[in-house]
Amino acid sequence: MTKARTLADFNATGALTSASTLNPANLDSTGTIPSALLAGIGGGGKVLNVVAANSGTTTTTSSSSYTATSLAVTIQPSAVSSKVLLTLDLNGIMTAAQNTGVGFALYKTESGYTSVVVNDILKYAGYMGSSISGVNDVQNSAGFSHLHVSNSTNSITYKVYMKKTTGSGNVKVSANGQESSLIAMEIAA
């Protein structure tokens, strides 16, 4: 059983006091718990692998069907029990007409098979309502995270797709060279 730390466990400099159940004498010279004392503690939640991609390439579409963007990462989990934390940061989201929205999805390709991981994320990102009369080309940013259970050690490519969700005209992402990013982190079970 572990004890939750309170302010009473630390002195004014932030060091553990002898009153805490974790004896400061067991810490090394940097204040770190030696790995030998951590034996038997579960290893879940550790980040095992990180892959990131950035793109400033503008993707433009007027289609209501998903269109691939240039934003993709490939990661190969080291264990079937690992999960993949996907973090998406989209910039330069633009709509060229009022009452037009843009939506995004994450797809994965594994062993030659492509499927949807998450559909209709940020469905109305970039939406411009009719209350903004005469204003076009407003740029927005949006972020999204998703924990994907891969159940595989195969190489997986995650790719961002976009579509027009409502209205008329074009929708864009990474407009005017603004970089968007996709990060995949393998998390130990």
pLDDT (tens digit per residue) in 118-151: 877 766 555 544 445 555 566 778 888 899 998 9
Mean per-residue pLDDT over the chain, rounded: 78
Q: What is the phi/psi pair of residue 6, to 5°?
A: -120, 170
Of 98 and 143, the one with more pLDDT = 143
25 C-beta neighbours (distance < 10 Å), count: 7
Note the pLDDT of residue 124. Answer: 57
Note the pLDDT of residue 100. Answer: 77
Of 166 and 149, the one with more pLDDT = 149
63-86 per-position pLDDT tens digit: 999 999 999 999 999 999 999 999
**First-residue to last-residue Cα distance in the chain:** 20
- Burial class of residue 89, CB neighbours in 10 A (0-12, 13-18, 19+): middle
Arithmetic mean of pLDDT, 148-176? 89
At which residue do the structure tokens 């996709």 appear? 182
Q: Three-state SS for 168?
A: coil
Q: Tell me the percentage of the chain whose pLDDT exceeds 70.
A: 67
Q: What is the reported pTM? A: 0.71
Of 93 and 14, the one with more pLDDT = 93
Of 8 and 108, the one with more pLDDT = 108
Q: Tell me the percentage of the chain whose pLDDT exceeds 90.
A: 35
How many residues would you count in the chain? 189
pLDDT-based confidence at 156, cuts 50/70/90?
very high
